[in-house]
Structure 1
Amino acid sequence: MFLTVPTELAVWRKQATISVQEEFVDKLLPPGLEESLPADLEGTFETVRSGIRRSAETYIGLCNLLERIEKRHEGVAADYRRFSQGLEALTDASEATYRLDTSEVGPLNDGLVSVARHMNTAQNIMEDEIKAWDAGVLEDLKRQRDGLVSMRELFERKDKFAGDNIAFLEKRIRTTEEKLKSARVKPADQVKPGEVEKMEQSIVADRESIVRQRARGVLIRECVMDELVFFQGTQYHVSRLQQDWAQERIKYAELYADNWKALGNAVDAMPLAD
């Protein structure tokens, strides 16, 4: 509706009837579903939950660390630019600085300009690398982090909303059955009108509630299991993001190396003492 409603969403919400009924209400339990679920599923849930909790915290930290690394690289790139500007400023002062013999000031300045130029190139490579990290590996890490956090919150919702009162109802049924048994052997004049029927209806209602809650519990376990099956595929996303990042690091390492090799060739012509 957010994407398609032809009016302001706030206006639509005021007049819309939004159902908040739980998805498992009145949903029939498919035959054989409970038997198809692993017997130790709850134990598996607890094991996975523990791993997800630890992994989520680690990925949160990794995202923060990479953002800090990006900031530091931004600072280095800015310093490269300042360093280049400083070298260019030196060329303006070279002739005055070495006034006694200016014959080699030209090659000296050419070398300084070459270093400044390659420092600028290094700055551009680093800024491009930062952008690639931001759009690439950082987004991949955040995607993995968000998936883990979502699963962690799924288990938290399960804890909060998947409970039942079956044990209480079973106890109440036993108590009501005892009362019903006693009421049936009492003389009719000692039993309130409708009391027996009321207790019978209470037992029926409690048993129906137990059936519904047990079915709901099975459906919830199936739902969480389906989420885990889907989540299992994120391990391949981890592999891909690391492979992509490795290739990206190789790419930029080669760009840096080519730049510094070119710089080495450029400064070979700078004047040296005999």
Structure 2
Amino acid sequence: MSVHDSNEHDIWASGNETKSPWGANESNEANHKTTTTALNQNSNVSSTLNSLTIDNENPGHSIFGSSSPVGSETNIFKDSLDEQQQENDSEEQGVWGGSNKSAKFPPFSDPLTATLNIFDDNITRGEGSSEVNNIETEQQTNNEELEEWIKAARKRYNPLLSDIVSIEEIPEREGLLFKHINYKLVLSIELPDTEPSDSKSVVRRYSDFDWLQEVLLKRYPFRMIPELPPKKIKTSQNLDPTFLKKRQHGLYTFINLIMKHPILKEDDLVLTFLTVPTDLSTWRKQLNNKFDTVDEFHNKRITKTFIKMWKPELSIHLNDVAGSIDRTIETWNKVNIIVQRSQRRLQQKIHENKIMTNLLNDLQGETSKMYPIDIDEGNNRTVLDINNNLSIINKHISDLNILNDEEIAKLSQELIPKFAIYIDILVSLKNMFERYRIMATNNIPQLQRHIEIDMERLESMKGKPDSSGTEYDRLRLSVKKDRASIVQQLNRSWLIRQCIFFEFAIFQETQFLISNAFKDWTRLNSSTTELNMNAWEKVTGLIENMALSNNL
């Protein structure tokens, strides 16, 4: 079973071996064994490769424990636990190797599914054998380690924390035609590893935010980087107060999401952005725009612990997320629209109430003219009574408007942002998956084939005196370089997987954004309904004795 995105492509799946793009098949099994033996002899690169594998690899398998030919394209982990997936060996695979029967387009190439299999799951599981017991014990240990790893990741992220950065607009006019907007950012706390500041504030422009997002995308391409609001759509919108207000709120959301992210908030350029008191463009010019933008995987190695505790079921979960994210965004957008409509209805109600109060004032002036006949000693007490009660109703309407104004303030300042923030996080998650599709690629299958060809040529040169020693050395060096490249790319592929799974783990905490938003929504509606009901009951009691007949 696999999950598809909007184009019916698999995104994260965990499938089995696929046919090699260069047509490798069982006929090269003998060559594979020879190649494997040669690859593992007398080479520092060989030991590096093996350091990325699981121990006790079976002889006759590929250098990463796969039972498939070296030249074949296989999943980096084999889903022996998913029997349904194993039935689809010959089917097309998606980004994470899952079958893709109904795909309209060729599946995306995945850097992990297009590599050698690290895990050798073809173990005879004899009933009652000590080997089976050892495997089960190791799996239990790995499961426990995975649970602890996920818990530790989730503890580092709390989307319900209060925002620590406030933003206010500082208009700055230059000349007659252009208007530049500056934003004053004020911190509510002291940031770690920064020099204390009395003001705790800096001034930034939109271009500074744009620069920050750009460097974060370079450093952390496989993390949930928030979206920025658009700079402008039309030139005239630079002067539109509504557009500027929305952009200010978008910048506020952007920087506070970063400061809640456990990795991004500790980035040195983020801390610089929030603390350097000078103009940021001036600071960048002083450094000649030479600051580190190498991605976070530079000089890092994947741990064997993470490789061992990885479970094929996790790919299914990721696939489910990727397959549902568009529908979730669409659904939540509709929810957000309904909440915003309630605000607009209140605004319309306030407008109508103001009209009603004006009409009631006019009506009171007309009733004495409409009913001039003296009934009681030259004074129409009924009309006076009616006008007095209309004044009571008028005051009640004014009081209702005060209540509605307070509800609108709570909606705009507290409730609507809680519904909107979830969309922002969903979009950042979706964008992360999209960057994965585009950026997380490698050429490991081609290198594998290249190694196989070179090893065959080396084997054919043995015992031939007319063979060139220079050519022999060149081929050996080529094999060594290709194998080193495989190690590097395979390590990076696992680091990417670990990174994305960390983001997926902390994303689980956003489920509490849903409950928090709806709890506040029901409380606000309940409170407002109760206040309105009490106000109507009060005014009903006050006008209870309003004259309904002339009791002479």
TM-score class, shorter-chain normalisation, is over 0.9
Match of 1:243 among 519, 523, 536: 519
Higher relative helix content: 1
Q: What does the per-residue CA deviation read over 1:68-120, in whole Å, with 9 as the maximum and x for residues that have no partner? A: 33122201111111101110111111211111242311101011111111111
Structure-to-structure mapping, 1:109-188, within 5 angstroms: 109-188=387-466
Q: Which amino acid aligns with 2:403?
A: I
Higher radius of gyration, 1 or 2: 1
Write the deviation string for residues 5-33 of structure 1: whole angstroms up to 9, x where unpaired. Answer: 24321122234222221211321222322
Q: Secondary structure at 1:70's aligned position in 2? A: helix
| Residue 14 to residue 104, structure 1, CA distance change in 2 (3 Å) | same
Kindly indicate whether the alpha-carbon contact (under 8 Å) linking 1:49 and 1:152 is maintained by their aligned counterparts in 2. yes
| Corresponding residue number in structure 1 for 2:347 | 74
1:10 aligned onto 2:281:
yes
More strand by share: 2
Gaps of 5+ in 2: 1-271, 375-379
Alignment correspondent of 2:489: 213
| Residue matched to 2:314 | 41
Offset of residue 183 of structure 1: 3.9
Q: Normalized against structure 1, the TM-score is what?
A: 0.92
Matched, 1:231 2:502: no
Task: Find the aligned partners of 2:345 and 2:339 in 1 and give their Cα distance.
Answer: 10
Q: In structure 2, what is the Cα distance between the partners aligned to 1:199 and 1:75?
A: 79
Aligned-partner Cα distance in 1 for 2:278–2:470: 56
Distance 1:26 1:176 in 2: 29
Q: Name the SS of the counterpart of 2:274 in structure 1.
A: coil
Whether the 8 Å CA contact 2:301–2:495 is kept in 1: the answer is no
The offset of 1:40, in angstroms, is 3.1
Aligned counterparts of 2:385 and 2:520: Cα–Cα separation in 1: 43
Q: 1:12 to 1:183 in 2, by over 3 A?
A: farther
Per-residue displacement from partner, 1:226-264 (whole Å, max 9, x unpaired)? 112111112122112212221221111111001111111
**Matches of 2:328 and 2:494, distance apart in 1:** 27
Scaled by the length of structure 2, the TM-score of the pair is 0.47
Q: For 1:46 and 1:56, locate their aligned partners in 2 and report how far apart those are by CA, in whole Å.
A: 16
CA distance in 2, matches of 1:123, 1:11: 49
Match of 2:8 in 1: none
Q: Decide whether the 8 Å contact of 1:37 with 1:222 is kept in 2.
A: no
1:27 corresponding residue in structure 2: 300
2: CA distance between counterparts of 1:24 and 1:5? Answer: 27
Q: Percent identity?
A: 28
| Bigger RCO of structures 1 and 2 (CA < 8 A, at least 6 apart) | 1
Measured in 1, the distance between the counterparts of 2:311 and 2:496 equals 14
Q: What is the DSSP-based 3-state SS (H/G/I as helix, E as strand, rest coil) of the residue aligned with 1:2?
A: helix
Instruction: Say whether the 8 Å CA contact 1:184–1:196 is kept in structure 2.
Output: no
Tell whether 2:544 aligns with 1:268. yes
Q: Partners in 2 of 1:103 and 1:245 — Cα distance?
A: 47
Instruction: Name the count of aligned residue pairs.
Output: 272
